[in-house]
Amino acid sequence: MSVANILIRVFLVSVIALLSPGAAVGQSPSASPEPAPDLERALSLVDFSCYLAKSDDEFRGKEIPVEHLNPLEESDPFTVQIDSVEQFCSPVAKANEGDPGTFDEARSNEVIADTLAHIDYVRYSVNPDAPALPVTRFVIDHLNPLLAATPPAQITAFRLSALLLPVVKDEDPPTSDLFQQLSIVGYACYAVDTDLGITNYFDLLNLNRAVAGQVDKQVFVGRLVQACLPVIIGGKMSAKDAHQDPNLSVVSNVDRTSYLTDYGTGAVTGQHHITYVDPMFGGVSSEIRTDRITEFQTPVKKRPAEC
């Protein structure tokens, strides 16, 4: 077995080991079981490589109902008009996050691990006429284990610049309850005012089945440019109801920060067949062309900035 294949198995096992068997999420708050233990920890292991992308923009001008999930940004639902495809974001893990010695001790819950590795996101530019965030100044703390020592950063988010919509590529979507629930969660990305960054190199292990096991080596991660906040898209559930759900309440508190990268072609560079998974898109499929990696996203948790 190749080193890359061992690493991909180790990552999935690391996620699986954090989640108890049978903890699939129901499609409605009333049907949801108890949350998987330390779901936030599992989410903290998943980063995203975002590629410059082009598509036919068949949804240009489409209005998307959204509502912020993060309780810090509680506000009324609003509508975002999307414009053109800018990026395609695919799940990765830093390649040295796993410990091969833990593989044999892992508990089996392939449904959850497979779901987390399966969802990609298409980033659309948006009409900037969106309401301002209720809280624009906040402090972010990194959740990813390899960035845990990074000092907290205070940032200011000043305008909505993009919307990330969930998709799957090159194959049929999973059928798990967890996948159905994550299919209605997107991310609203806001430009930020800061000079901060990570300024480090990482080997990034690709998780999606279409490219699983391939490693993009020495990807440079630089300046912080955006904060991406979870939102309910399509109006299928209110944020209030989501907060009552044990698992969605965890997802609600995990934001992402996006950093510029200096890297060429990666494992996902090329032509892909994608399917939009939010119910409001009715399972529409499309072709997308990806080029080089231009941004890197990693999970964070935010708190109000001190005055």
Angle at 114 between CA 51 and CA 22, to 5 degrees: 145
DSSP string of 210-264, one letter each residue: TTTT-EEEEEEEEEEEEEEEEEEETTSS-HHHHHHSHHHHHHHT-EEEEEEEE--
Pairwise CA distance, residues 148 & 292, whole Å: 27
Per-domain residue ranges for the chain? 3-304
pLDDT, block means (10 residues), the chain with 307 residues: 51 49 36 54 85 87 94 91 95 65 33 78 90 89 87 90 92 79 94 87 86 87 95 91 87 95 89 92 91 94 84
pLDDT in the model for residue 213 = 79
pLDDT in the model for residue 10 = 46
- Residues with Cβ within 8 Å of 104's Cβ and at least 6 positions away in sequence, in order, are none
Angle between helices 3-17 and 110-118 (to 10 degrees): 110
pLDDT in the model for residue 8 = 52
Q: Which of 13, 153, 149, 21 is nearest to 93 (CA)?
A: 13
pLDDT in the model for residue 6 = 47
pLDDT in the model for residue 79 = 94
Q: For residue 286, what are the β-bridge partners? A: 274
Distances (CA, A) of 148 to 124, 141, 251, 298: 30, 8, 19, 11
pLDDT in the model for residue 31 = 43
pLDDT in the model for residue 36 = 52
pTM (predicted TM-score): 0.87
